[in-house]
Structure 1
Amino acid sequence: MYEKMAEPYRIKMVETIKLIPKEEREKRIEEVGYNQFGLKSEDIFIDLLTDSGTGAMSDNQWAGLMLGDESYAGSKNYYNLKDSIKDIIGYNYFVPTHQGRGAENVLFPLLIKEGQYVLGNMHFDTTKAHIELKGGRAVNLVIDDAYDTQKEHPFKGDFDIDKLTSFIEDKGVENCAFIIITVTCNSAGGQPVSMKNIKEVKKVADKYGLRVFFDAARFAENAYFIKKREKGYENKEIKEIIKEMFSYGEGLTMSAKKDGIVNMGGMIALKEDEELFEGVRQNVIPIEGFPTYGGLSGRDMEALSRGLREVVQEDYLQSRIGQVEYLGRKLDEAGIPIQKPVGGHAVFVDAKKMLPHIPYHQFPAQALCVELYKEAGIRAVEIGSFLLGRDPDTNEQLESPLELLRLTIPRRVYTNNHMDVIVEAFKNINERKDQLKGYDFTYEPKVLRHFIAKLKPIE
């Protein structure tokens, strides 16, 4: 249930944004091959491309930047960050990285052998890419309800435990590298994973001798949903829920650009495996940097140390998730099909339902992204077949079970007036949705193609 509330902060600095004329927007998107990643930030009015590194830091975090210790080794900010991680997450060992994909690039070679499967609820694009680049195969084992956008389920990010068990039995334990739990589950629509399901996954892992890791980019948002939706956790503190959540894993990778509320940063954190930690320390040096900075300046680590302590504050989480819920409710009332219930960091529009005349191989959600920019200067992102890519063995275009447009809300950046502008834009597009056409490639990279591919409209 939506609850109207004021933001738990005051604004002390603003950044000017402008809506350029529609004819200019149409020209800009054509020039970049109908790929919104190619647009300049100055051409965007409301930027919902990602919540990664796009949030607004607090005055406390900005103050921390002035305390940056830029020593090459042993920076005091590293130890401040270590204390925050121990206090909030409960893990003993960590190395900083420049962002989440840096963490995956360091950790995954230590865990994956050629041809092994990595079992996840639903892998995101960079995670899937790093698994495949290390010779592994990413397998999605999320519950079927995640694929029904109109079905209400409080934890659509949950693993299907029967599928998980059957897959391990069928392929053999020796062919499975590890299990990774993505919290919240981005590709399923920012959907949370229940504590009950995390416990069940851990039981399966223990039965077969498999390791459990977390993709922890939005860990605090997941904990907030557990508190609000799962019986027995309504009276627990967010930090208490977080520590229990991570107690069922051996380690994590994190893009701290999300729930760390920083513009750059990431980490690998491990509970107690000293041998794996030593491997991580050795790997991080040639890839990211010395283990006590790992691709980050001292001031970046200080901002992250403080951001981790801010993100667990319940009034912040209530405001943050409440704004996303506000946008989702308004779109739903306007007749725009969305993934329900609304997730933590974004509203996901069901482009397959909105544009059923555009087939998956012509990327309906990407067509909707282009139209949204033309309509109102709003930049969103496709989470569907365009992002999913091709089968690594056959090179055939894969069909995503979901064709979603993600409206990703940066933290502490926009007001609900901006949310209302987004809703009006969708209302206008909805009136002419039957006129929208799909897209095909003029340039297609082999890895993570959606970032730099170029497209053309289907005539």
Structure 2
Amino acid sequence: MERNKERSWAEPYKIKMVEPVRMISREEREEAIKEAGYNTFLLKSRDVYIDLLTDSGTSAMSDRQWAGMMMGDEAYAGSKNFYHLEETIQKYYGYDYVVPTHQGRGAEHIISQLLIDEGDFIPGNMYFTTTKLHQELAGGTFVDVIIDEAHDPENEHPFKADVDLIKLENLIKEKGAERIPYVSIATSVNMAGGQPISLSNLKKVRELTNKYEIPIIHDMTRVAENAYFIKQREEGYEDTPVKDIVREICSLTDGATMSAKKDALVNIGGFLALNDEELFRKAQNMVVIYEGLHTYGGMAGRDMEALSIGITESVDEDHIRARVGQVQYLGEKLIDMGVPVVRPIGSHGVFLNAKKILPHLSQDELPAQTLAAELYVDAGIRSMERGVVSAGRDPETGEHNYPELELVRLTIPRRVYTQAHMDVVAESVEAVYYQREDITGLEFDYEPEYLRFFQSRFKKR
């Protein structure tokens, strides 16, 4: 007799090395978060039990990547590891030219300086902090053209990173195509909760930008995760390998910035990839000024080798299924517990809906920052705020930007934690949720000029 019960799955790897972690006492955690100004970025990692601050540079490398590190060619010019990286990017992503950088924001800086003039407008499917800042520093203004569903944490739209084509074309007509240097398209949009863009929508964006001769620059930090969602959710792609979907996504764009510290499973590194040779030559010249020679950028040879191998591993079907599956596991547990989260569950983390968890706190009382601090005190879990603090201030008025989404991100590093760790996280979130009415808010005590969420300090109101 055939059973219909769904079988359990396990991670597609064995653990070869471990790093001990410790849980300090609640009293010590209370003192640690106070000393850190209630900013989880300012905590010492030795005082953190489960670190879900970010998936950037926190993944575990494979035995093949570690072996590749021993093959580092540290020649100042012409490193063989660069040529291997270039070949790998061309094979899996399809871009013609590669400029290595120390991480994604190095690539964002170069492309912004090359393409944006004072007074330009850059439409995109929701902002990302560093991307938007580089665009502003170059004299541009970011304009959000993502679909409205992306701003509703409870909406179950399967592709909440889709572009609203009417918003985009209206902007082009209003400002003029000559004032729009490129359209900024992110795959697996971070600030929306790790939500994917569909290929059908991206094709329509490509058709529209071709009409107005506007290039598309792709933030491909989590492109493999986006491709996995397309395979799961978009009609006609259920039997298509993830690596082929990745290649198709990239083929619809003109260039890309990549923080390799996410999808590509390395602790440092990134690149700018382009198809336009003239633009590539300019970028190649700029990288020498800000990063390093054009055949290493900001990376050592060994890091480029680990990155080449990581790109290959990132599109492996077993890997990506387990990576996204662990995030889904945590998200589904929290939903079953009644905790308000962004739905559907995204690719790289579970995003807690701080507005709904702490409805008695206004955004001026920083509910997401407050909730992140409370989670740390409860069980030593480090998460991060994605709300009014991350949104920064309006450069003209100096007032806070108030995003619709006020979230706490529980970001899952790749190949680092077990399902048991996810159970501990879920139980901690549940415990904080059920004492939510006793939680009081925070206010700024120190605020830096740029990217304030990294270094701001707060105090109890």
TM over 0.5: yes
Aligned residue among 22, 46, 60 for 1:42:
46
The structural deviation recorded for 1:3 is 6.8
Is residue 148 of structure 1 aligned with residue 164 of structure 2? no
Alignment of 1:366-381 (within 5 A): 366-381=369-384
Q: What's the secondary structure of 2:351's corresponding residue?
A: strand
* Cα distance in 2 for residues equivalent to 1:3 and 1:298: 43
- Mean CA deviation greater in 239-248 or 310-319: 239-248
Aligned residue among 249, 264, 270 for 1:266:
270
Is residue 8 of structure 1 aligned with residue 12 of structure 2? yes
* Structure 1: tracts of 5 or more residues without a match: none
The structural deviation recorded for 1:4 is 3.1
Counterpart for residue 416 of structure 1: 419
Q: How much is the aligned-residue C-alpha RMSD, in angstroms?
A: 1.1
Q: What's the secondary structure of 1:188's corresponding residue?
A: coil
The structural deviation recorded for 1:150 is 1.5
Q: What's the secondary structure of 2:182's corresponding residue?
A: strand
* Cα distance in 2 for residues equivalent to 1:100 and 1:242: 18
Aligned residue among 238, 241, 259 for 2:242:
238
Is residue 90 of structure 1 aligned with residue 90 of structure 2? no
* Cα distance in 1 for residues equivalent to 2:105 and 2:353: 27
* Cα distance in 2 for residues equivalent to 1:423 and 1:245: 34
* Structure 2: tracts of 5 or more residues without a match: none
The structural deviation recorded for 1:148 is 1.6
The percent identity for this pair of structures is 53
Decide whether the 8 Å contact of 1:2 with 1:322 is kept in 2: no
* Cα distance in 1 for residues equivalent to 2:172 and 2:355: 32
Tell me which amino acid in the other structure corresponds to 2:340.
Answer: P
CA deviations on 1:111-150 (whole Å, 9 max, x unpaired) are 1001111110012111111111111111111111112211
* Cα distance in 2 for residues equivalent to 1:427 and 1:323: 18
Q: What's the secondary structure of 1:177's corresponding residue?
A: coil
CA deviations on 1:22-51 (whole Å, 9 max, x unpaired) are 000000111111111111110000000000
Decide whether the 8 Å contact of 1:360 with 1:400 is kept in 2: no
CA deviations on 1:247-276 (whole Å, 9 max, x unpaired) are 1111000000001100000000012x1100
Runs of 4+ residues over 2 Å off in structure 1 = 1-4
Counterpart for residue 330 of structure 1: 333
The structural deviation recorded for 1:371 is 0.1
Q: What's the secondary structure of 1:123's corresponding residue?
A: coil
Is residue 346 of structure 1 aligned with residue 349 of structure 2? yes
Counterpart for residue 286 of structure 1: 289
Q: What's the secondary structure of 2:445's corresponding residue?
A: strand
* Cα distance in 1 for residues equivalent to 2:438 and 2:178: 51
Alignment of 1:185-204 (within 5 A): 185-204=189-208
Does the C-alpha gap of structure 1 residues 3 and 130 become closer, same or farther in structure 2, counting only changes over 3 Å?
A: farther
The structural deviation recorded for 1:187 is 0.6
Alignment of 1:27-426 (within 5 A): 27-271=31-275, 273-426=276-429
Q: What's the secondary structure of 2:57's corresponding residue?
A: coil
* Cα distance in 2 for residues equivalent to 1:348 and 1:142: 18
* Cα distance in 1 for residues equivalent to 2:30 and 2:46: 15
Q: What's the secondary structure of 1:235's corresponding residue?
A: coil
Is residue 448 of structure 1 aligned with residue 458 of structure 2? no
Tell me which amino acid in the other structure corresponds to 1:39.
Answer: L
* Cα distance in 2 for residues equivalent to 1:123 and 1:205: 19
Decide whether the 8 Å contact of 2:89 with 2:95 is kept in 1: yes
The structural deviation recorded for 1:175 is 2.0
Tell me which amino acid in the other structure corresponds to 2:187.
Answer: V
* Cα distance in 1 for residues equivalent to 2:351 and 2:147: 18
Decide whether the 8 Å contact of 2:264 with 2:310 is kept in 1: yes
The alignment's TM-score, normalised by the length of structure 1, stands at 0.98
* Cα distance in 1 for residues equivalent to 2:427 and 2:10: 23
* Cα distance in 2 for residues equivalent to 1:405 and 1:338: 9
The alignment's TM-score, normalised by the length of structure 2, stands at 0.98
* Cα distance in 1 for residues equivalent to 2:102 and 2:41: 21
